[in-house]
Each structure stands twice: as structure tokens, then as C-alpha cells.
Structure 1
């Protein structure tokens, strides 16, 4: 038995797994995110020590579950051009060579829309196009490119990082799942997922409601306006004046307003961008998505437990 390391990606339900599902597993020890970050993200690339990482994880690390989406790299900085994403894979292999790696992926266009919503929730003020392509306005040698890395489309070329993990851990230890499958039938997917990894969990006690709901259109505009009065918490934004404590207060107000249902329904991802931009992004990701589809077909054909395969066949 080795540790289960759920590395993300962002916006694929990791908050639900962290807050609801993994803590309910009885035969494994779910480690807090802070422990995972201290072991694998806090040390600099030239200061990482696998023995120290194992010490932080504790003596029972082979029965541990780790879940931290930033192991794939920061959402708003593209994993530092993939350098952090790649290096973390080596860190994980050096410390936990027998681990099972869990990777959830999502339709990249949908993931990008969700990433921008998260950027706004995190204090961002710019629109979607500026968020995606803001670096294009900079000179190739502009210092901002290195000091404050921005969003990168390459971050959602999932198959490249998957191949990297395949080479390190072996493809039989790298388990890739689609977020869309999980959202289509959360209970059925969770049952198959638990069986796949031998996890003992009482699904009758699990709350399958979303942990990180989208904003309605009025609240989206309100959030961007409120964010002008705090310099937190994203790097690429505008702000008029910083009011200490305003970020925390504004987040609390937005959550309450969003939960009240008085400001309209949450926006669907396809309502965040026009058709031309969506088509441009789909064309960009088409080669990567084809390779990902082939990887998932291979996984289904070689899945020894067949639990998730059978669940997919029922649908």
C-alpha cells in the first residue's frame, strides 16, 4: 500500500474532496492541506529534502491521503510556466515513490471560465479577455513577465503533465478522471472511486452539494467593483485604495448574497465568453484533448479493478 496523492487540477472538485469526502474515509489518514504544502511546496527547488518531506508527513504516510490542487502549479500563474508543476512531480516521486497519483481534468474551456471566476472571487478586477491575454501587451523582455507570472493557456494542456507523471510513477499508478463524470453523478462516481482505491466511506453520510458555487451576473459585477478597494489577493489587478480588512468582509458578504438566491441564478460557464473566444480556445486545445482521450481509453482498457469502467458503462 502506498499513499494516495490527489494533485488536482484546479476547479475539478478538489475543495469537496478536501472538505467532505477524504475526511470521511475510515481506513486511510487524510492529511491537512497545510501538511502537504509544508512537505512539497514550501521548500525551494534547490532546498527540497525527501527525507524531511517524509518526516513532515509522519510515520503512517503509506496509508495517507494527500489532496492539494497547487501540486499541479498555481492557477493564476500557470505553475510558473510549468516549472513548478514539473518539479513537484519529482519531489513527490523522491519522497513517495510507491504513491498512487490521482488527477482530475476538466474541459479546458470550462476550466478557463471557472478559473476567471475564481480570480474574481480572489480579488481580481479585470475582465476575462484581459485575464487570459494580459501578458500579450508586454514586451518580450518586460520585467513583469518574470516578477509576476500571469495566466497561461499551457496550464490546461493536461496530457503533458500526465505523461510526466506516467514516466516517473508508471502509468498504472497514475489515475486520470474527468470532472464532468463526477458532476454528472456525484454519488455513483464517488462509489466507484472509493471501490477503485479500496476506500471505506459511508456515502449515506456524505453531502454531495457543491462547495464552491458560481456567482450570478449581478454579483460578478459587484465583486469586481468591491475588489477595487483591496490589494488582495491576486497579483494582476487594479485597486483604488486599500481598506484593511475589506477583502475578508467583502468575501463574507458575497457568500451570503450568493447563498440567498435573491440575485439570480449562478452563471453557467458558457455564459462567460462569446462564441468566437470559445472556438479559438477549443481549436488551441484540440490536439491536447485528442491525446488525453487516447490516454483515458487506455486507462479504461487496463483498469484492473474495473470499478470506474463499469460505472462509466452504466452511463
Structure 2
């Protein structure tokens, strides 16, 4: 089948796959994120060498599991206007031409809200609109446009990068899934996902807890205030004075406070994005959403013809959620063999 390369996107559960699911797979080696980044992200565009990348990945790279969301580009810089995202796809193809590509997508409005929350967790101080449209205040020739790229709306226009991977690897090797389906029933989704790729996983040993819980409103305000005392770790922010060590300490305090559950419920996208901005974003992404729908519909038809029924259907596109109480079905079809 070739290596399985899970490229993201950001804010689609990749941390859970990296920390919990892929390390539990018994019949494929899972490569650490640092190894993947060294192979595909460390060298400049004019210095990348496919043979060296394979050496970095190791002798088992053609059967390995790779998962790194930054292969789609940085969250807060839009993959350098998509240039890095496009180039990395070509790097992966040069080094692993027979790979299976996994791409998780998410409703772009929800993804944007989550991206801004991540920006604040990472030291950001600006509000959502300033985060999204801050570059609009710069002149067309401002050096800041080139020195420190900012958030890019096009990063979440998923269908264009998917089409690029389709052209490189063939659409049959590019597998696109919705984060919302995974979140609705993680166990049912994981079982179908493992069956699709023939992964041996004992689901009874999996931790199904969230990896990156959202902040509540009081903690969100507290985080932005605390971030004024560190210049880390995002590029576009304000600070009053840099206190050495404060960033690490403040993150620890926020995680502790968030884990207590005494500061209100976690914020949802609707809590963060005003109705008028939500409507504008929906209209902005509407053509891409239609293209993505068409791509997913094609994948479902392709699966119904090409995936053998002996694999349990092998697809999570047509997967049905199990009702609550399905915990007794603890193993994937591959694991039960």
C-alpha cells in the first residue's frame, strides 16, 4: 500500500492521532513528528533532496505511518500563501511516490475560530478580526508583508490543496475525511478508519479524551492579558514587557485552570465569531465548500466500487455512527483477525 502520510489539516484532531492512535498501531511503524519535520520541512525549497529525506525517514519508510499537520503549512501564516503547502506535496511525492495521503478537513468557520484560540494559547494578544484581517492595514508594499506572513483565509480553502495532491498521487491514493465525522463518534470512526487501511489497533486500550480542549471565556481573557508579559511565541502580537520564563509558567497555569473546569464551559465557534462575520466567511468559502462536496461524493462512489467488502466496507465516508453503548465492540476488524 505504501506509507500512510497524514498531513493534517490543523485543528482536525491530529494531536490525538499523533499521541494516541498511531503509536498503538501494531503492524506499521509510526515515525516521530521530529523525524517527519526533518525529512520534509527542514531544508529550503532549493535544497531538498528526496534521497536524503528517505534516509532521514529510515529503512521502513515505505510501510510507515507519518502524521504532521505542518505539512499543509503553518497555521498562522497560511503555508506562506500556499507556497510551502504546494512545495511539500511535491517533496512527499519525490520521496514517497507510492504513499497514501490522508487529509482531514473541518468546517472553515469552526477551523478559523479554533485557529484564533490556538493563536491566543500560543501567546497572541490581538482579537479575532485583527488576527484575520490585520494585514489589510498595511500598504501594498509594506515590508512586513514579506518579513512576517500572517493569517491567510485561503489556507482553509481545502479543495485546492486536495486537487494538487490528486494530480501528484492520483485521486485514489488521496483520502479525505471530515473532522466532524470523527468528532461525532471517535470509536466508530476509528474502527472504520483502521479497517480502511488495514491497521491493527486494539481500540479497548485507546484513550478517547480530547487533546486540545478549548478555553472558557474568562480564561480566554486571562490568557490574552498574560500574553502581554512575553514576546513569545507568535510573530504578530503586542507585549508590554518580556518576563523571562513567563510564557512557560503562564501556559502551565492556564492548563491547570482549564483542567479544573470551574471557569465556565469551553467556547464554541458561535461564541467567538459574530453573525455578520460568520455570514461573510460562509459566502467566501461557498465555492470551495461545493468543490469539496463534489470531491467527497466522488470518493464515496470510488470506495463503493474499489474497496472489497471483506475489509468491513473499508470506508469512513459511508460509515454510520454506532449508538451509545457500543463500547463492547472494542477492536478493529484488522485487530480481530
Band of TM-score, shorter chain: over 0.9
After TM superposition, the structure 1 stretch with the greater mean CA deviation from structure 2, 190-199 or 305-314, is: 305-314
Q: Kindly report which structure 2 residues correspond to 1:100-249, keeping only aligned pairs within 5 A, or say none.
A: 100-249=100-249
Q: Deviations over 1:55-106 (max 9, x none)?
A: 0000011111000000000000010000000000000000000000000000
* Secondary structure class of the residue paired with 1:66: strand
- Following superposition, the deviation at residue 309 of structure 1 comes to 3.9
State the aligned residue count: 315
Aligned-partner Cα distance in 1 for 2:9–2:215? 21
Q: State the SS of the aligned residue for 2:319.
A: helix
Question: How big is the alpha-carbon RMSD for the aligned residues of Structure 1 and Structure 2?
Answer: 1.0
Whole-angstrom distance in 1 between the partners of 2:321 and 2:58: 39
| 2:327 aligned residue | none
CA distance in 1 between partners of 2:172 and 2:63 (Å): 19
User: Match of 1:279?
Assistant: 279
SS, match of residue 243 in structure 2: coil
Paired residue for 1:13?
A: 13
Distance 2:107 2:45 in 1: 31
Q: TM-score, normalised by structure 1?
A: 0.99
Partner of 1:265: 265
Structure 1 residue runs of 4 or more that deviate by more than 4 Å after TM superposition: none
Q: Which residue of 2 aligns with 1:34?
A: 34
CA distance in 2, matches of 1:79, 1:99: 22
Residues 189 and 321 in structure 2, CA contact (< 8 A), matched pair in contact too: no
Q: Deviations over 1:224-272 (max 9, x none)?
A: 0000000000000000111111100000000000000111111111110
| 1:94-136 residue CA offsets vs partner (Å, 9 max, x unmatched) | 0000000000000000000000000000000000000000000
Q: Give, in whole Å, the separation in 1 of the partners of 2:17 and 2:245.
A: 29
TM-score (norm 2): 0.92
SS in 1 for 2:2: coil
Give the Å deviation of 1:27: 0.3
Gaps in structure 2 of 5+ consecutive residues? 308-312, 324-337
Question: Mind listing any 5+ residue stretches in structure 1 that lack a counterpart?
Answer: none
Once residues 169 and 43 of structure 1 are traced to their aligned partners in structure 2, the CA distance between those partners, rounded to angstroms, is: 22
Match of 2:319 among 300, 311, 314: 311
Matched with 1:83 is 83
Give the whole-Å Cα distance in 2 for the aligned partners of 1:61 and 1:268. Answer: 39
The Cα offsets for residues 126-168 of structure 1, whole Å up to 9 and x where unpaired, read as 0000000000000000000000000010000100000000000
